[in-house]
Amino acid sequence: MQDPNEDTEWNEILRDFGILPPKEEPKDEIEEMVLHLQKEAMVKPYEKMTLAQLKEAEDEFDDEDMRAIETYREKRLQEWKALKKKQKFGELREISGNQYVNEVTNADKDVWVIIHLYRSRT
């Protein structure tokens, strides 16, 4: 059997069909170091802090933090007020039998339909 890591047309065809695993490219040491540093930079800063540093950082609450909290609070209040103003109930409509499928069965999935069946006395 041939070497599966060898660059041949046959091995490329086998890789395309998933018979052979993708060929692993040799990584450069610099590239690996950069990837490691990127992963390390994504670590949250508090994970490297000591207990004393964490307590000190916990107590610090500057003007920027207060503005961010106030902005968030205002945004949430506006969302709540908009939701409160939204119409709570739909409408009462009288439909006939031939409109039933369109109005009830084909109604939106997020719409609740309540049906009151009656027979008119005319």
> Cβ distance 107 to 95 under 8 Å?
no
Digit-by-digit pLDDT tens for the chain (122 residues) are 577 777 788 888 888 888 888 877 766 778 888 888 887 776 666 667 788 887 777 766 677 778 888 899 999 999 988 887 776 677 788 888 889 888 888 888 888 888 888 887 86
Q: Distance between CA 10 and CA 35 in Å, rounded?
A: 33
With contact defined as beta carbons under 8 Å apart, do 15 and 4 qualify?
no
Q: Give the 3-state secondary structure of 3-71.
A: CCCCCCHHHHHHHHCCCCCCCCCCCCHHHHHHHHHHHHHHCCHHHHCCHHHHHHHHHCCCHHHHHHHHH
Whole-structure pTM value:
0.30
- How many CB atoms within 10 Å of residue 14? 15
Give the pLDDT confidence score for residue 77 in this predicted structure: 92
| pLDDT, position 5 | 73
- Burial tier of 58 (Cβ tally within 10 Å: 0-12, 13-18, 19+): exposed
Alpha-carbon span 54 to 46, nearest angstrom = 7
